[in-house]
Chain A
């Protein structure tokens, strides 16, 4: 026992003495089990993209693997950043995300009706994805300075409310209803867990129905069409309802054990729309059946629960909120994507994180996981979170 104690003490001394050793210790503190789960999900993505291309690594699987490798490096790098650095960076990130959101409104490319992106040096950037991460960090920074007493004062909630509403408004203007709802949801979950009083919550929730009614009046026609065809997909089997019907056919024909890898007829014969991006889950369900699809859902639940547990176990408020926000973001991704392919909500351009083909979403998700792991690495770091002006 003494030997072990001595060794621990020795390591602690090393940590204080030599920054490079501190880095090694930090690396050691990363939850490699969690990283393994991330790699497992990405692996499922690789295998499915391989099938989506008809049994060859190009054009989907191999580039996706390369991006994942870059994402892994990014994730581990971000995980090394201490909370103080993140707090300081959060304002800059948030400002940058707003600039990008404004820029994409004026010079963005539009694809498939809603997704807007910017081309920067050959890389597609979706500012709305980045805005979610930036919002999480900036809200966490704000709330980290708010103790229980301050949370009781509504005035302290006004600035963060604007921090949420500005990107929501910008994304709505893109117009991307789904992402706006997700950003709002993430913001709400942070307000909720940061310790808003119940009466405040009730006051906020009451006007929501009338707001929804007002919002529906301002929806675009294609957005209304999505809602109509979602309610009656058979009314337009080759038009707007096509995606939902073909997706459900793919899911249903998978049965319990699936049609076999590389043998899903819907996916292999291109009946599935967007099979390598938004509808990739249907390929999994078709080829691997309910068993495979349920296993993927279980893996997603494990990743979300893992993130939430990291949040709960974090000893500083900042880290807790970061971890919760990132987990909620990941959860919303999964929820919206799975609901969409099962026909439970209207079709919107939300990918399945790490599995769907696409670089921007992959990097954003890995950046989020980096932040999540950073809170885990620095879970025991004490921060001065006792009032004073935030950041």
Chain B
């Protein structure tokens, strides 16, 4: 058998065949083997080189590429912070954030987008504007970005959607926030409103580019926008190559906007509005000690919540064409001739000038003739011989013509400015107006000559003089306390009381107390002494008296013929030609705490229209006494108050 077993021999023969480097019978096979081995060496070498390269990429540069992978993967996005609340001095919400339930459509989760929208609109009607917007968003957005179908859903509408969820694939409900104003029209002029930011807003602040962000467009919302806005949070999300969010990695909540407490007493504001009723008027109630504005009403008003969802064109036209100007806060942006309410300022200027003392008398025959022009007193028969006290009490025009003529316009303007008239005030509201106390210099700057007659009519608050109701209230408060208080609406930010609330922080007016006392006494006489001009302003509260001054500002020149015809009665004029009715007052007389100014547009006379209104407002203010309370007064105060009616 030759020793070796058969299977071993086969193995040996195979081994010999494994590498037939040389083949005697077939030289080509030898060549093939050698060259194939060369090919194998090349193949192993090439793939080995690739493995080396792979090692280099994966191990040597691994960290670098891992970082790039993380950058690829993680997308950081900003989160809109909740807007700060606005509350009144007792913490009652005036502007709040409310959940806004929205119906969204995920286009990729439904096979039939138009059909789904049709079924949705059968449940919740979509108007033409909605449909156009949805169609536009569907065209431009990627399929995994939800499209908003309808927002501001009610509970009822949400229930309808949830019930029909099986037939609405891809429709989901989510929650955003909307700004709500629980008091609506009551505080619209003070709080203002918010609206979606426009392109230039977004260019200034990246925060505003976030969906759901709002920008204050009026009132405190605009003035304190930065504080209310807050700081954006951020969320880190894992995204894929087309930007779809896969998961949330890390979340940092933003800082909500600051909560702003106003000086306003919401309850008082409501009562003031009730008293004004449907008159076109404005009223300001101020704390004389520190300038806090307790109530500021301007009628008519508007509904601020309309702006969040978009004001219709028709509504806008209606507002802007309305001669009662509902969008304008008349308390800060309405300018009126102060009329006789200006007389205390003229008196103070005269006393300070040293040319006039309180006891100096002027004889009033019913008119004053200067340089051939006759200036009438409101009383045809005159007031006889009057001193300062009587002149204020009777509101004698001739007395003030005379002292204005004596001291000149520059002194009057200077004093009026110090008392807060015709100057910008520090109120935290946008779109305020400054008004005007005219001077010869101002007149010349406008290329006109200042006549002596201009000074004389300015002495009774007519002519070019224009002031705002807020300035009148500030002026009254400064007279009442002798402090240069500034009106303000901000009481606290995040619960921290502003230093402005402390009366000690307000500087003195630097006006002699005896002169101020003379003015106050005159204003006391207006209300409380026999033959005063405003007996209707007497308070019917025991032990509390108030001092005030009437004003009627003509908006149209009253011709001599009309006046002397004897039939002149401004109540018979068309509404827009009647004089404005003004009244300023402070109380209690012996320890002044509250100042009120009232302007009724075309209210005819201050004594008949404005004085009773101011009295009612002052009575409510005194009963509620917001300066000395930290909680809103009980409802019983309101009922006591009602019993006076």
Contact = CB atoms under 8 A, between A and B. Distances in A.
A266 interface: yes
Contact of B72 (A5, A249, A309): A249
B65 A249 contact: yes
A1 B5 contact: yes
A257 to B, nearest CB: 10
Contacts of B26: 147-148, 317
A222 interface: no
A217 to B, nearest CB: 28
B325 interface: no
Contacts of A89: none
B29 A317 contact: yes
Interface stretch (B45-53, B360-368, B448-456, B598-606): B45-53
Nearest to A330: B43
A308 B54 contact: no
Interface string B610-633: 000000000000000000000000
Contact of B69 (A253, A324, A344): A253
Interface string B35-66: 11101100110110011011101110110111
Contacts of B31: 148, 193, 195
Describe A's contact surface by its main secondary structure. helix
Interface in B16-46: 17-20, 26-29, 31-33, 35-37, 39-40, 43-44, 46
Contacts of A271: 69, 72-73, 240-241
Contacts of B134: none
Q: Which of A192, A249, A271, A294: most chain B CB closer than 10 A?
A: A249
B287 interface: no
Contacts of B66: 252-253, 255
A5 B19 CA distance: 27
B6 interface: yes
Contacts of B36: 193, 308, 311-312, 320, 324
A4 interface: yes
Nearest to B7: A4
B241 A269 contact: yes
Interface stretch (A155-163, A297-305, A362-370): A297-305
Describe B's contact surface by its main secondary structure. helix
A266 B40 CA distance: 34
Contacts of B73: 265-266, 269, 271
A128 to B, nearest CB: 22
B239 interface: yes
A345 B246 CA distance: 33
Given A266-B72, A312-B20, A195 B43 contact: no
B242 interface: yes
Contacts of B240: 268-271
A312 B40 CA distance: 11
Contacts of A344: 50, 53
Nearest to A337: B50
Contacts of A334: 47
A5 B53 CA distance: 52
B6 A253 contact: no
B72 A193 contact: no
B68 interface: yes
Given A1-B5, A255-B58, A301-B47, A308 B28 contact: no
B54 A342 contact: yes
B414 to A, nearest CB: 69
Interface residues of B, number: 48
Interface string A89-109: 000000000000000000000
Contact of B28 (A147, A297, A305): A147
B39 A193 contact: yes
B238 interface: yes
B65 A252 contact: yes
Contacts of A251: 54, 57-58, 65
A344 B47 CA distance: 12
Contacts of B64: 252
A253 B62 contact: yes
Given A1-B6, A255-B62, A194 B32 contact: yes
B29 A266 contact: no
A7 B17 CA distance: 24
A256 B62 contact: yes
Q: Which of B65, B73, B242: most chain A CB closer than 10 A?
A: B65
Contacts of A309: 18
A381 interface: no
Interface stretch (A203-211, A285-293, A346-354): A285-293
A255 B6 CA distance: 52
Contacts of B33: 312
Interface in A254-287: 254-256, 265-266, 268-272, 285
B32 A270 contact: no
A300 B51 CA distance: 12
Contacts of A5: 6
A270 B69 contact: no
B39 A338 contact: no
A265 B32 contact: no
A331 interface: yes
Contact of A195 (B19, B32, B37): B32
9 contacts: A1-B1, A1-B7, A192-B35, A249-B65, A255-B59, A272-B241, A301-B44, A308-B36, A320-B29
Interface of A: 1, 4-5, 8, 147-148, 151, 189, 192-195, 246, 248-256, 265-266, 268-272, 285, 289-290, 293-294, 297, 300-301, 304-305, 308-309, 311-313, 315, 317, 320, 324, 328, 331, 334-335, 338-339, 342, 344
Given A148-B27, A250-B65, A344-B50, 13 more contacts: A1-B7, A147-B26, A148-B26, A255-B58, A256-B59, A256-B62, A289-B58, A293-B58, A294-B51, A300-B47, A335-B43, A338-B54, A342-B57
Across chains A and B, which 10 residue pairs bring their CB atoms closest together, nearest first? A252-B65, A253-B69, A269-B240, A270-B241, A253-B66, A290-B58, A255-B62, A271-B241, A195-B31, A193-B35
